[in-house]
Structure 1
Amino acid sequence: MNSNSSRRQKTPLEHILRVALYICLLGMAAVYLMPFLVMFLTSLKDVEEIRSGTLLSLPGSLNFDAWVKAWGGACTGSSCNGIAPFFINSFQIVIPAVLISTIIGALNGYVISMWKFKGSDIFFGALLIGCFIPFQVILLPMARTLGWLGIANTTTGLVFVHVVYGVAFTTLFFRNFYQGIPSDLIKAARLDGAGFFTIFRRIILPISTPIIVVTIIWQFTQIWNDFLFGVAFSGFDTQPVTVALNNLVNTSFGGKEYNVDMAAAILAALPTLLVYVLAGKYFVRGLTAGAVKG
């Protein structure tokens, strides 16, 4: 019998329900994307057009002057160089912080799950508590620590802060992922004479790609979008783009330029948007592969 003819035909009611489901999903997506649409349309208008039109009115012409000004000419406090310098600051903070916290988290998770030692569960519990400590609690102790280390108001200091705060999360991710790896695999490698780092490099890392992607995306998003640590621990020349965006929005010389504000906000959000667009499917795969198990 033909396999196609053996399939059950959908009833008219099932077709109607399917269409209704898609309409509902499209409506929810439209509501969710509405703020972004308003921001994008506003960024393409001039100030007079913004004042005379509505939020969802289309621009009379494509005008990217606001984008150019937001990038290289808008004032963020006393400086009028746009958000470009602060964009670079954010990358200088995010890239090393993500890499260092991911590496430390992988090693911690590997040790806690594969190389049990006395007090390992207590150590993991202490790290787990770190996931629930509010940002505000560590501001004063961290400020004193940065001053004592001589890295206050520097990019290095911000990298240090994000690594310290992020290690609890990265350790949790890797530990839960490694819990699903058969212990016999590690025992066999030990019997063959493989040591701590050999097992980690040749056995654990090659199968850790899903959780590494999850951790990188998570850390990148958290660090790039951070405002509190940036405004508390940075100097003027080391501020991340989130702090510069706040300064731009709250700085006004003459009339308020909403189009420039919206363009700057979109530019500041582009890296995280691109990360999820390009690596979103790998993020989901990593989660389903064990990132939130245990």
Structure 2
Amino acid sequence: MDNVIRVQTPGALLARGGIYAALIFMAVVYLAPLLVMLLTSVKTLEDIRAGNLLSLPREITFQPWLHAWSEACTGIRCEGIGGYVWNSVQIVVPAVVISTAIGALNGYALTKWRFKGQEWVFGMLLFGCFIPFQVILLPMAQTLGWLGLGSTTTGLVLVHVVYGIAFTTLFFRNYYVNVPDELIAAAKLDGAGFFRIFLRILLPVSTPIIVVTVIWQFTQVWNDFLFGVAYSSHETQPVTVALNNVVNSTTGVREYNVDMAAAMIAALPTLLVYVLAGKYFVRGLTAGSVKG
């Protein structure tokens, strides 16, 4: 095939330049709050009072980060948010793993194993995606009390698993519906059972949707505030609740640099997840969207 030299007209170049300029402008506007937080978190209080929000620090200091991690007042005690980060990890990891596993099994059963009433089951799970968090606060609190899980990290894990199953099932169900039924039928003829088909056939091709589900659930659970403040005690609060207590603390002089450092610490895990796995999230969303 002959090489084709494409010459762009001045109008096309101008249009392309305008598109890039608009994208860069919107990116700057979108990232401006993050830049303000970062700059403020490494300034001294004197520097904050003397300059403006976007001014560069005259002296870079990481003392606010250390103070936010181990000394910032979180309500009852001045102990920093470091321990609450660990609380969030203890909540997020099992909640994401369990809800993803159950969602995968549900999606598999709802698409490849026909049973009476499966449409009703899926409809009820889908309905669960639209129930506002506030509606279930009281009945969930009663349930946790009956189970003896009130004010515990285990109770928060259970809450996030129950509320996350509807979403994970929806993700996996929409993904598995594009897997050929003939593949499952052939495995059944060879004597493979429910779990063997799932582990040997469905799970190996599920990497894209697993990535999507993990990122979605991780973000939802880590950033949750309502369930955390409603179902935890001071010792079991997630980092979002501790951050709120730090920012609203009335002890002493308002330390804006410490507040911003605490907010950056709380946001770093989700930022890292999207930076490192963002492209896989997009690929997972589009994988299987077009059958064939």
**TM bracket (short chain):** over 0.9
Q: How far is the alpha carbon of 1:292 from its aligned partner?
A: 10
Q: Within 2, Cα distance between the matches of 1:270 and 1:20?
A: 33
The residue aligned with 1:94 is 92
SS in 2 for 1:112: helix
Q: How far is the alpha carbon of 1:92 from its aligned partner?
A: 0.1
Match of 2:65 among 64, 67, 70: 67
The residue aligned with 1:192 is 190
Match of 1:271 among 269, 272, 281: 269
Note the alpha carbon deviations across 1:69-118, whole angstroms, 9 max, x for none: 00111110121110000000000000000000000000000000000100
The correspondence of residues 136-285 of structure 1 with structure 2, limited to 5 A, is 136-285=134-283
The correspondence of residues 50-61 of structure 1 with structure 2, limited to 5 A, is 50-61=48-59
Q: How far is the alpha carbon of 1:44 from its aligned partner?
A: 1.1
TM-score, L = length of structure 1: 0.97
Q: How far is the alpha carbon of 1:290 from its aligned partner?
A: 3.5
Does 1:129 pair with 2:148? no
CA contact (8 A) 1:214 1:287 kept: yes
Equivalent position amino acid for 1:96 in 2: P
Q: Within 2, Cα distance between the matches of 1:18 and 1:204?
A: 43
Q: Within 2, Cα distance between the matches of 1:19 and 1:52?
A: 38
Unaligned 5+ runs, structure 1 = none
Q: Within 2, Cα distance between the matches of 1:39 and 1:130?
A: 36
Cα 1:128–1:291 shift into 2, 3 Å: farther
Q: Within 2, Cα distance between the matches of 1:254 and 1:269?
A: 25
CA contact (8 A) 2:44 2:59 kept: no
The residue aligned with 1:40 is 38
CA contact (8 A) 1:173 1:292 kept: no
Aligned length: 291
Q: CA RMSD in A?
A: 1.2
CA contact (8 A) 1:214 1:291 kept: no
Q: Within 2, Cα distance between the matches of 1:172 and 1:163?
A: 14
Q: Within 2, Cα distance between the matches of 1:127 and 1:60?
A: 55
Q: How far is the alpha carbon of 1:47 from its aligned partner?
A: 1.2
Unaligned 5+ runs, structure 2 = none
CA contact (8 A) 1:176 1:292 kept: no
CA contact (8 A) 1:87 1:241 kept: yes
Does 1:20 pair with 2:18? yes
Q: How far is the alpha carbon of 1:291 from its aligned partner?
A: 6.9
TM-score, L = length of structure 2: 0.98
Q: Within 2, Cα distance between the matches of 1:150 and 1:135?
A: 21
Cα 1:71–1:205 shift into 2, 3 Å: same
